[in-house]
């Protein structure tokens, strides 16, 4: 590859790393201003702005403009679906729909530039296909990342659900109301399920009915087991069934489902390792075992 082409590719890759840091990098705590000392000192806002790093001063406003521009030309249905994926992913800190759109545009542009450089260096059908793959993969890469985060979050909620229901049963049997039991579990545990329970408690304290808050929790999590528990709680409250008994039955069913899910994943394991074994392990084993014998046969003949 030519030196200018290599330098151009390195520049594009470096720009992509800087942009990714600007979008998803760690953020320091915002500076606080002592209002009681405003009369003692003169604060220069321009100097304070210049003391910030490159990300808050230049890259983040640029990403905001790109995100707003992309939002303007994105269909409403696609934008709503993107917000839905962010909600299922737990709305990671610092991520908004417009920022994800900006990242999609920038990643697709970087992939297109890299693909163009690759095609210029060695034009062929395979390089053109690789360039198209880089551009399309860069554009849809953030969607795949969000989907992966949402799947991992749903899996964590599913694993923690049975133990969380057990703690709620203990609280209800100890004399706590359902709202107090949910609040205590949310306060004493951590993870995605605890965050969602804490949000449901806040919604209830803000005046939203408990049934609506719990159903909204089920819509945000999109975990069938959690929705089943919430529907059972709503029905038990309407029919006057004891909540402790309902929660205890649901916890038992959740343990059975968790065991069945683990058995299902274990049964899928032989099929998953079949192709790596055939393509990677078996050829290496044949080379180690049959290689010396083949060399001896060739020397003999």
136-187 confidence digits (pLDDT tens): 888 888 888 888 998 899 889 988 888 889 889 888 888 888 889 899 998 8
Distance CA 142, CA 130 (A): 19
pLDDT band at 29 (very low <50, low <70, confident <90, very high): very low
Q: Tens digit of pLDDT for each residue in 210-236?
A: 889 989 898 888 888 899 899 998 888
What does each C-alpha distance from 6 to 110, 114, 132, 157, 261 come to in angstroms?
15, 10, 19, 46, 49
For each of the domains in the chain, give its residue range(s) and CATH number, in order of start: 3-19+55-153 (no CATH), 155-258 (1.20.81)
Residue 275: half-sphere exposure toward Cβ, Cα within 13 Å: 3
Q: Tens digit of pLDDT for each residue in 258-271?
A: 888 888 888 888 88
Residue 19 has pLDDT above 70, yes or no: no
Burial state string for 209-227 with b = 16 or more CB within 10 A and e = fewer than 16: ebeebbbbbbebbebebbb
Which has the higher per-residue pLDDT, 119 or 52? 119
Distance CA 83, CA 199 (A): 18
Residue 126 has pLDDT above 50, yes or no: yes
pTM of the model: 0.69
């Amino acid at each position: 590859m030519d030196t200018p082409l290599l330098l151009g590719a390195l520049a594009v890759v470096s720009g992509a790393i800087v942009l990714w840091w600007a979008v998803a990098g760690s953020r320091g705590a915002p500076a606080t201003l002592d209002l009681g000392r405003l009369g003692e000192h003169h604060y220069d806002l321009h100097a304070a702005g210049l003391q910030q790093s490159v990300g808050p001063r230049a890259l983040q406003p640029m990403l905001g403009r790109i995100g707003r521009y992309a939002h303007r030309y994105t269909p409403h249905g696609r934008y709503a679906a993107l917000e839905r994926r962010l909600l299922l992913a737990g709305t990671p800190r610092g991520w908004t729909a417009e920022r994800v759109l900006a990242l999609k545009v920038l990643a697709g542009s970087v992939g297109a530039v890299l693909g163009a450089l690759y095609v210029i260096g060695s034009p062929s059908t395979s390089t053109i296909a690789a360039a198209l793959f880089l551009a399309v993969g860069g554009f849809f890469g953030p969607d795949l990342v969000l989907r992966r985060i949402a799947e991992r979050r749903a899996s964590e909620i599913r694993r923690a659900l049975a133990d969380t229901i057990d703690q709620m049963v203990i609280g209800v049997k100890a004399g706590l109301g359902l709202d107090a039991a949910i609040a205590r579990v949310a306060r004493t545990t951590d993870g995605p399920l605890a965050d969602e329970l804490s949000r449901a408690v806040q919604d209830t304290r803000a005046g939203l009915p408990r049934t609506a808050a719990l159903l909204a929790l089920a819509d945000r999590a999109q975990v069938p087991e959690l929705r089943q528990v919430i529907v059972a709680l709503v029905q038990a409250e309407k029919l006057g069934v004891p909540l402790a008994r309902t929660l205890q039955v649901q916890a038992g069913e959740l343990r059975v489902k968790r065991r069945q899910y683990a058995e299902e994943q274990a049964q899928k394991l032989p099929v998953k390792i079949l192709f790596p074994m055939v393509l990677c392990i078996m050829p290496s084993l044949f080379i180690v075992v049959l290689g010396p014998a083949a060399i001896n046969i060739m020397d003999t003949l």
